[in-house]
Amino acid sequence: MRRATAEEAAALVRDGDTLLIGGSGGGHAVPDALLAALGRRFRDSGAPRAITALHPVGVGDGADRGLGHLAQRGMLKRNVAGSYVNSPPVAAMALADEIEAWSLPQGALSQLMREMAAGRPGLMTKTGLHTFVDPRMGGGAQSPSATEALVEVVQFRGEEYLFYKPFHVDVAFLRGTTADEDGNVSMEKEAVTLEMLSEAQATKRCGGLVVVQVERIARSGSIHPKMVKIPGILVDLVVVEPGQWQTFETFYSPAYSGEFRIPVDDIPRLGPGPRRVVARRGALELFRGAICNLGSGIFTGIGNVAAEEGVLDAVCLTNEQGNIGGAPASGGEAGAAMNPQAQVDQPYQFDFYDGGGLDLAFLSFAEFDAEGNVNVSRFGNKLIGPGGFINISQGARTCIFGGTLTAGGKPKAVAQVEQVTFSGRYARDRGQQVLYVTDRAVFRLGAEGPVLVEIAPGLDVARDILPAMGFRPAVAPDLRVMDARIFANAPMNLAAVLAAKPPRPSSPRLA
């Protein structure tokens, strides 16, 4: 193992290279010191030029950190990512067609790293069918110059699949907590472990260079072998960054790393407003033992609601980055979890999701339409990307999409979504149960599209709901009033709600 400075490591990236970047969202295991050094090098010397950035998860602070360091004209030629929401400068370059840009499902990209590591042809999966990732609907391209077909439709044993092509990687920038003198890397202070191992393996198979940013160096043999996430045989350079923060917002939280659990009372309570209303209404769909995903956005508040109501341990909340149990974090730190019971590598979490392991998926919507389609990936002048949304929504037995009915006075229920991130028709064909929860009303996916099934207390359908929508939904004959408790400040007694429902069934072999 060789030690280097961030500047020395950045100097090894060449014109035209493909750079694989580890990490997630708002600083979780993001090698920001390496990215910053690479950005400085380009500003000072104009090199390297025309590189491709490849990262399964969006990486950035919503401003200029993370991938934002590379948002310089001439430096970045292409970007392939699960999400752009964390790096608005790069999203702006894509919208202006200054780079070739694709957004592909986070889970597919995560699992593709393993396929690349093994030298297999690519990833074949149903994830992304009938969404904007499907080549018949755009192939995930997010800029006019992104013309290469990265995804193909294939037939196998009479069924349709999508085939995600592999990439050649020249350099990987990864991150851990500790490296020993042999280059073995652990991640004990990180909130997530992601696919760091697969990314290192994939890079080495391509003959590429693996650079790992860490907080500290330990003596050879002093890291327990089960704590090693990236073996030293895969590591070329280690860059020590002693001031490394756990996230862009938090220096270190032991509740994120799993070092110890914080008291449930320390988990923040949601303040009043639509976010609390939608999260509390979503929480009414929980049942004892339910295995759930809380995607980034409005429904991350369900973890806060469950903690406030004392039912956090009655259900299992997860997020796609690999946390199982506890309360998934929200806002800029989405991807972490407070008090997780287990932390697994991200590809395995997506295996579980794709295999139908989720009872309930709580996901946000930017807009939904008369067909029941949902868009979270691109709307107006905003390029967000799907993140893990497509894997999660296509794999779960029941999907609950949440958001406000309007934004800035404009309807979020529209005649036709700008980009299909979730297909209502495909969901109906597969027998999924789908709800759309808003601050004013609740809709259920019916045979023709969303059906209005609940309305907030004191509101009138003709006066308060239909004028706020871009299409006229069917109205259920047994239209109900939303539970008044979700609008109040007092606890909802959610424990009693869960106790009145049948629990998650056990294995038939145990019946």
SS (H, E, C) 4-48: ECHHHHHCCCCCCCEEEECCEECCECCCHHHHHHHHHHHHHHCCC
Task: Specify the DSSP class assigned to residue 502.
Answer: P
Residue 491 phi/psi, 5-degree rounding, is -55, 155
Distance CA 266, CA 80 (A): 38
Q: What are phi and psi of 77, to 5 degrees?
A: -95, -45
Reference 150, options 109, 92, 201; nearest CA is 109
d(Cα 58, Cα 298) in Å, to the nearest integer?
Answer: 18
Specify whether the CB–CB gap between 256 and 246 falls below 8 A.
yes
Mean pLDDT per segment of 10 residues, for the chain of length 511 residues? 95 98 95 98 98 97 96 98 96 98 98 98 98 98 98 98 98 98 98 98 98 98 97 98 96 95 85 94 97 90 92 95 92 91 97 98 97 96 96 98 96 98 97 97 97 98 97 98 95 96 90 70
Determine which helix (DSSP H) or strand (DSSP E) holds 113, and give its type and residue range.
helix 106-118
Helices 106-118 and 346-354 pack at an angle, to 10 degrees, of 110
pLDDT at 68: 97
Q: Rounded to an integer, what distance in angstroms lies between the CA atom of residue 441 and that of residue 453?
A: 8
Q: How many CA atoms lie within 13 A of 269 on its CB side?
A: 9
Structure tokens at 191: 């909130």
CA gap 353, 373 in Å, rounded? 20
DSSP annotation of 165 reads: P
Query: Which residues contact residue 460 at a Cβ distance below 8 angstroms, ignoring those fewer than 6 apart?
Result: none
Taking Cα atoms as reference points, which of 446, 447, 422 lies closest to residue 361?
422
Task: Name the region of 475 (left: φ>0; alpha: ψ -120 to 50; beta: rest).
Answer: beta
Residue-level pLDDT at 332: 87
Residue 117: Cβ within 10 Å count: 21
Asked whether the bond before 48 is cis by omega within 30 degrees of 0, the reply is yes
Scanning 148-259, the segments in alpha helix (DSSP H) are: 196-205, 254-257
| Residues sharing a CB contact under 8 Å with residue 151, sequence separation 6 or more, in sequence order | 104, 128, 133, 134, 135, 139, 140, 162, 163, 164, 165
Please answer whether residues 86 and 67 qualify as being in contact, where contact means their C-beta atoms are separated by less than 8 angstroms: yes
**Alpha helices (H) along 298-388:** 301-308, 346-354
- The catalytic residue positions are 320
Quick one: tokens of 390? 């497509």
DSSP assignments along 59-102, one per residue:
BS-SSSSGGGGG--TTTEEEEEES--TT-HHHHHHHHTTSSEEE
What's the pLDDT at 34? Answer: 98
159: alpha, beta or left? (left if phi > 0; alpha if psi -120 to 50)? beta
Rounded CA gap, 422 and 361, in Å?
13
- Note if the pTM is more than 0.85: yes
Task: Count CA within 13 A, CB hemisphere, residue 7.
Answer: 5
> How many angstroms separate the CA atoms of 420 and 428, rounded?
15
CA distance 294 to 360: 9
Residue 174 has a pLDDT of: 98
Which run of H or E residues covers position 363? strand 360-364
- Residue 190 CB partners (closer than 8 Å, separation 6+): 28, 29, 175, 176, 177, 246, 257
pLDDT at 77: 98
| pLDDT score recorded for residue 331 | 83
Residue with tokens 């006229």: 472
The radius of gyration of the chain from alpha carbons, rounded to an integer in Å, stands at: 23
pLDDT digits (tens, 9 = 90+) for 401-445: 999 999 999 999 999 999 999 999 999 999 999 999 999 999 999
- Strands across the sheet with 323-324, in order? 342-343, 323-324, 316-318, 291-294, 360-364, 398-402, 433-437, 441-445, 450-455, 474-481
